[in-house]
Amino acid sequence: MTVAASPRALVWRRLRRHRLAELSLAFLVGLLTLTLCAPLIAEWRGVDPTVTDLFQRLQPPSAAHWLGTDELGRDLFQRLLDGGRVSLLVGFAGALLSAFLGAIIGVVSGYLGGRLDDLLMRVTDGVIALPLLPLLIVLAAIDPRKLGIPPEIAQSETFSLYRIVAIVALTGWTTAARLVRAETLSLKARDFTRAARALGASPARIMFRHILPNAAGSLVVATTMSIGSLILLESTLSFLGLGTQPPAASWGNMLTGAQELLRDAPMLALWPGLMIFLTVIAFNFVGDGLQEALDPRSDRRL
C-alpha cells in the first residue's frame, strides 16, 4: 500500500528536480548564513571592517585579509558580508512589503469589482507607466529633514535603510496586485467561494480566508523573483549615492568607491559586482523552480 505524499513533500520533490534552482537555493542559504554571521566571523578573525588604515590600502589577498583591502584599508571580505546583509535585507523586506501591498490591493480590486476596481487598476497602471529609475532617484533624493523628521534620525544608518525599503516597496507592488487580482477573478467564481458566500461569510472573510490563501502559490513565485530585481535597484541607488550611505556597506556603494580604481585595483569592483550578479540570477532560478514545483501539471510532463 502506497502512502500518498503530502503537498509540501510533492513541492519539495518537484523543486529538487530543477537542478539550477536547487543549486541556487543552496548558494542563497549559504550566503544568508555568512551575512548573518558576519559580526561573529569578524570577531573570530580579529578584523573590524569599519576601521580605516591608509597604510594598508589596496593590499593583495593574504592570511590577514582573505580578499585584500579596499581604498581605505578596510577588509574587503568583511565588507562584502556586511554589504550582503544590507542588500539582502532590502531585497527581502522590500519584496515582502510589496507583496503585502499588492495582495491587499489585488484581492480587494478583484473581489469587490465595480468602480473601486477601475480606480485601483488605473492607479496601478499609472505607477507602471512611470519611469522607474528616475522615480526612485527623485524619491531617494528627498531630504527627510524637510519633512519634519529630526536630523539625528534622518542621518542615521537605520533610517537610510528603512527609507530604501519603503521606496522600492512603493514602486514594486504593481506586479503582485495585478497577479492577485487575476487569481481573485478566477477564484471568486469557484464553488468553495460560492459556498462560503451562501453560508453568510463576510466579504473580508472570503477574501482573506478563502481566496488569498489559494492565490498564495503564484504570489510566492512573484515575490521570490522580485527579490533579485529589488537588490539590483538598491545597488543602483547606492552606486549613485542615494541609497545606503557610508560608512555602512552595501554592494552598490562598494562599486562607487571602486569605480575610480578600476585600472589599479579591478578586484574592488569585481567582487561586489560578481555578488550582485550571482545573487540576482540565483533568485531568478529559485523563482523558476518554485513556479514549476507549485504547478501540479509538472508531474505529467515527465
Average confidence (pLDDT) over 266-270: 83
pLDDT exceeds cutoff 70 at 19: yes
User: Which of 82-86, 100-104, 260-264 shows the lowest per-residue confidence on average (mean pLDDT)?
Assistant: 260-264
**Lowest-pLDDT choice from 90-94, 116-120, 215-219:** 215-219
Distance of alpha carbon 63 from alpha carbon 73, whole angstroms:
15
The whole-number pLDDT of residue 296 equals 55
Q: How far apart are CA 292 and CA 221, in angstroms?
A: 10
Which of 61-65, 155-159, 256-260, 270-274 is the least confident region? 155-159
Q: What would the CATH number be for the domain defined by 75-296?
A: 1.10.3720.10
Q: According to the model, what pLDDT value does residue 8 have?
A: 67
Triad 181, 182, 184: Cα angle to 5°: 60
* Domain residue limits, the chain: 75-296
Q: What is the DSSP letter of 55?
A: G
pLDDT at 299: 52
269's CB contacts (< 8 A; 6+ apart) are 255, 258, 259, 261, 262
**What average pLDDT does the chain have?**
80
What pLDDT, on a 0 to 100 scale, did the predictor assign at position 1? Answer: 39
Most trustworthy range by pLDDT among 161-165, 249-253, 260-264, 274-278: 274-278
Q: What is the predicted pLDDT for the residue at 294? A: 67
Identify the band that residue 285 occupies on the pLDDT scale cut at 50, 70 and 90: confident
User: Across residues 195-207, what is the average pLDDT?
Assistant: 85
Q: Which residue has the higher pLDDT, 15 or 223?
A: 223
- Hey, which of 77-81, 187-191, 198-202 has the most confident mean pLDDT? 77-81
Tens digits of residue pLDDT in 216-247: 777 888 888 788 888 888 887 777 777 777 67
Q: Is the pLDDT of residue 15 over 50?
A: yes
- Residues 137 and 106: their CA atoms lie apart, in Å, by 27
For residue 252, the Cα-to-chain-centroid distance in whole angstroms is 15
